[in-house]
Amino acid sequence: MAKKPARQYGCTACGTVHAKWVGQCDACQEWNTLEELPVEPLAASSAARSVPGRRVKLEALQGVVQPPPRVRSGIAELDRALGGGLVPASVVLVGGDPGIGKSTLLLQAASRLAEQGERVLYISGEEAVDQIRLRARRLGVEGAKLELAASINVADIIATAEAEADVRVVVIDSIQTMWLETVESAPGTVSQVRACAFELIRAAKRRGFCLILVGHVTKEGALAGPRVLEHMVDAVMYFEGDRGHQFRILRAAKNRYGATDEIGVFAMTDRGLEEVSNPSALFLAERRGNIAGSAVFAGLEGSRPVLLEVQALLSPKGGDGAPRRAWWGGIAGGWPCCWPCWKHAAG
């Protein structure tokens, strides 16, 4: 009798495969993120092993190497974070919390690229074409010659992209909504996300278009997090910020074609994301002269020095009113907190 294939469980947050179901993934420590993976029948995998391979061409280490050509998006902060622009046939994953502004950023970037004459396909699995049109109107980019589609079917998307020879960029918003007929699980599961990304990446490498995948990060791991894709793509960018605040930072967590220390800074406005080319001006905007409790810190983010203000809350001091450094456990201020403090106070 044929042996039943063993069950396997994949973590939706980090992609680690486990032989047994457990409540907490021991690789990423997330809770309730394991789900059963469909297992291939043993007969199929042994049949695949019996197909003889072909010899691959081996090459010398020396050779003429050209720097990769770049397609500039026209959004300088995005190009900066990407290491100078998009590389043809490369795959970029843009991750971030839902609502942080990923669709906004990519619609703006895709429109800029289309305005420069590049052919860009923007495929949304989350929104209808009309919703994308409304957003484009709000962002003031409705005039761009962008080609839109609302689809979750990866086979259809690949057939469409491959039918058009001059497609330069394909945006998939989001990979968690994509679906491949041959995989027997729901969109958003580890196996679906991996298989859909694999097929899209193969098409991008085959046809030479830039592929941008949007991936949501969810705390509960209800949808497969972008971390399951990190090893499959060329660059991973995280779009971060506090939804209650205006500012957003795009930073590279991985980049096969550039540095990972550059950041792109944006401000979310009612007209979409605006570039912040001089973040220091922004971080020092509230500074009012040389006042006690405020200091300016200079740091280096990639090739750009950034100044920011650090503020401490101070209370007015009695007497002459001059600011004086004081420590919490002083005799006048209360009991010392420990023996060394006591010694210090007494001495």
Residue numbers at the binding site for ligand ADP (CB under 6 A): 96, 98-104, 138, 243, 270
Query: Contact between 103 and Mg ion (CB under 5 A)?
Result: yes
Nearer to ligand ADP, 11 or 141 (CB): 141
Q: Mention every residue, 6+ apart, whose C-beta is less than 8 A from residue 340.
A: none
| Per-residue H/E/C for 153-168 | EHHHHHHHHHHCCCEE
Nearer to Mg ion, 108 or 183 (CB): 108
Nearer to ligand ADP, 70 or 102 (CB): 102
Nearest distance, CB of residue 71 and ligand ADP, angstroms: 22
**Given the rule CB under 5 A, which of 95-103, 130-138, 187-195, 260-268 is the region that contacts Mg ion?**
95-103
Nearest distance, CB of residue 126 and ligand ADP, angstroms: 8
150 burial (CB, 10 Å; 0-12 / 13-18 / 19+) is: middle
Considering CB distances under 5 to 8 angstroms, the limit depending on partner class, which of ligand ADP, Mg ion, none binds residue 96? Answer: ligand ADP
Nearest distance, CB of residue 112 and ligand ADP, angstroms: 16
Nearest distance, CB of residue 127 and ligand ADP, angstroms: 8
Considering CB distances under 5 to 8 angstroms, the limit depending on partner class, which of ligand ADP, Mg ion, none binds residue 219? Answer: none
Phi, psi of 296 (to 5 degrees): -105, 130
**Given the rule CB under 5 A, which of 54-62, 99-107, 218-226, 233-241 is the region that contacts Mg ion?**
99-107
Nearest distance, CB of residue 88 and ligand ADP, angstroms: 25
HSE-up of 304 (CA within 13 Å, CB side)?
19
113 burial (CB, 10 Å; 0-12 / 13-18 / 19+) is: buried
DSSP 8-state code for residue 58: P
**Whether the bond into 185 is cis, omega within 30 of 0:** no
Q: How far is 176 from 183, CA to CA, in rounded Å?
A: 14
Q: Which residues bind Mg ion (CB under 5 A)?
A: 103
